[in-house]
Every structure is written in structure tokens, then in C-alpha cells.
Amino acid sequence: MKISTSGSLLNETDLLSDLEQIKRSKRIPALAAAAYINGELREIAAIGKRKVGGNEPVTINDKWHIGSCTKPMTSTLAGILIEQGQVDWTTTIADIFEDWRDEMHSGWQKVTLEQLLVHHGGAADTVAPWLWQRVWEQQTQTPTQQRIAFVHDLLLMAPLSVPGSKFLYSNSGYAIAGLMLETCTKRDWESLITETLFKPLGMVSAGFGAPGTAKIIDQPYGHARRNGKLSAIEPGPFADNPAAIGPAGTVHCSIEDLLKFATSHAGAGAGAPVGDNILQRLHRRYGASEYSAGWNVVQRDWGGGYVLSHDGSNTYWFASMWIAPFRNAAFVAACNAPAPAGQQACHQAINQMIERQMKAQHELRL
């Protein structure tokens, strides 16, 4: 997907000014943001340093870890495969993992792909310490091997709740869903989502894990807050969550590529990778929750109806997406600092872009 630009619509000066003020007030190293409306890139900018104490400035081409903003990407991938007939919303865990059918806990057998994508599969977000430790010990294995071991052990234990009965936000549920997609296509999730989603959308910067190279500072570093101060985290296998939960939150990309993905859900003519029926299903709230397949779904006046959102963080970064399908609009922001300052910075940047780009509307707040 190529987002067209118009020099008369781009407002880099105002956005840079906003980002500089936000960066200073929240005391974070760097911040990037971008906005799309009606087929055009309206604003894009990045400001700050790649690393606390360093001199290397960020650019709009730099890559940001987006954490759980990966989840709607995995859900969109599932939608593509459903449209292709390779899997279905109602495909169950037992349908996919036939070899494990007799040993998995019976509570998992009828859990559907859709229930996992909408966080109603019964999977806990916090897994047993021994299982999490085992995941970290398997870092030398391939991502798929890590997921197979993790999901296998997870399915031996009972679900935390009766599947379909309640909303439980879960990284583990997305790991199961990701492995289901891998198994039915016989391709690893990283290659599958790259070829099936990222490349068609033109997301050339998209990758996995903490971006950049240790010691070189060729990309922004994530940061942890220790004793009240931010400390840079060098990229490497321990600068992110294990690949076992990759489908839940290990993607990194540039701010423009994050906008490309957000834009693909922004309404008619926005270049969605799936047809309207699948797109509507991805955006439909499940049960009484405010969550669809990968999106928080809430009403906002500025959006002219429901809007989609998702935040993401691996505790070293923060990213946020807000999308208004009825306005054909999308807004994204990312920074290399954790919550709460990182979250506040991203939300404030998006709020100010919404106010500027949709000032004719009322109640322009997240």
C-alpha cells in the first residue's frame, strides 16, 4: 500500500512542535507520530534521541517496537487465511492439533480460533512461573519450536475460565492462535505474516524483536525505568519477550509502516487486505466486551461512529493506534519509553493530531 502525500496537507511544523513539547514534558527520549485521512498522509514526524545519553537523532524511517499492536496484525492475518479457505472462525484447537487431542486438557478441545482472537478462549495472560522460565531457556530454538513447546505445555493445564464465557486479555491465547495458523499453513508465523500481510501493504521495515544492532545505535533503543531514571536496553534476545508469544507482540516497524497497517482498517478505499465481510467480522465486538478480533471498539463522536484502537508495549517501548473507519482516518504514535510516560506521550500526540485534523467535530478526545 502506498499512502499518497500532498504538500499542502502535510503539517510537519505543527506536529514537530507538538512532539517536542510532549517529549520534554514526559521526559522520554524520542517520539514519532503520523496521521492519515481520506487517502492521504496528513502528518508525519519524529523527534528526539535514539538512546538516553546518546547523540544519535531519530528519523521518520527509524523502527519502533509496537508490542501488542501486533495482535490486530495477527488477527488480520487470520482473516486473510479464513478468506482463502485455509482455516475458519470456528476451527477448534482440537481440529488443528490432532496429535495432542488425547493429552490436552478437555477444556481446550472446543476452543475456536475466533475465541482466542477476541480473548474469550480461557487462556490466562500470566502463565505459571515454571512454564515462563522454560520459555526463556528455549531461546536458542526457532520461534516455531518455541511456540510448539510453549503451547503444548499450556494445553496440558485447564483453561483459566470456561471458554466463551468471559473476556480475559491474553498473550498466551494469541500464541495458541498463531501456532494454529502456522500449523494449518505449514509456515512459520514470522514468514507467513511477512509474505501475506506486510509485503502486500508495503511494510518494508517490519521485523521482529527489538530493532537495531547492539553497540551501534543504528535504531532507537527501548528503555526501562530504574530508580526513577530511564536506562537504555541494548537490542538482543533479552530486549524483548520470547518469540514463543510473537503473534501477541514482537513486531517492530517504522511509524509510516505502522500507519500503513492502521490505514488498511480505516474504511472504504483504504486498501484493506480482506473483503468487507471479513473486515466487518474483525471489527465486530464479541459478546458483551468492547473487544473484537484484535481491536478495542468504542464509540467516539470525532469518529462518526465506532473507532478502533490498540496500545502496545513490551515494557521498554510504547505504541498506539486509533482508527476511524467512518472518517477514513488513522492516527499512530510510538516512543522508546515505557508506560506511564510512554503511554501518555503517545495518546497526547494522537489527541493533538485528531484535534488539528478534525477540528470541526466535537469531543475530540480518546
How does pLDDT run across 77-135, given as a tens digit for each residue? 999 999 999 999 999 999 999 999 999 999 999 999 999 999 999 999 888 899 999 99
Per-residue burial over 300-339, b if 16 or more Cβ lie within 10 Å, else e, is: bebbbebbbbbbbbbbbbbbbbbbbbebbbbbbbbbbbbe
Say if CB 232 and CB 53 are below 8 A apart: yes
Q: Between the CA of residue 63 and those of 19, 272, 295, 339, what are the distances in Å?
A: 17, 23, 22, 19
Q: What pLDDT, on the 0 to 100 scale, is given for residue 363?
A: 44
pLDDT at 7: 42
Task: Give the chain's domains with CATH numbers.
Answer: 4-68+202-357 (3.40.710.10), 72-191 (3.40.710.10)
Residue-level pLDDT at 237: 85
- In this structure, are strands 318-324 and 305-312 parallel, antiparallel, or unpaired? antiparallel
Nearest to 273 by CA among 82, 114, 116: 82
Mean residue pLDDT across the chain? 93
Quote the pLDDT of residue 39: 87
For the chain, how many helices (H) and strands (E)? 13, 12
pLDDT tens for residues 272-295?
899 999 999 999 999 999 999 999
pLDDT tens for 308-342 read: 999 999 999 999 999 999 999 999 999 999 999 99
Q: Can you tell me the distance from the alpha carbon of 243 to that of 184, in angstroms, rounded to the nearest whole number?
A: 19
Band the pLDDT of 267: cuts 50, 70, 90.
confident
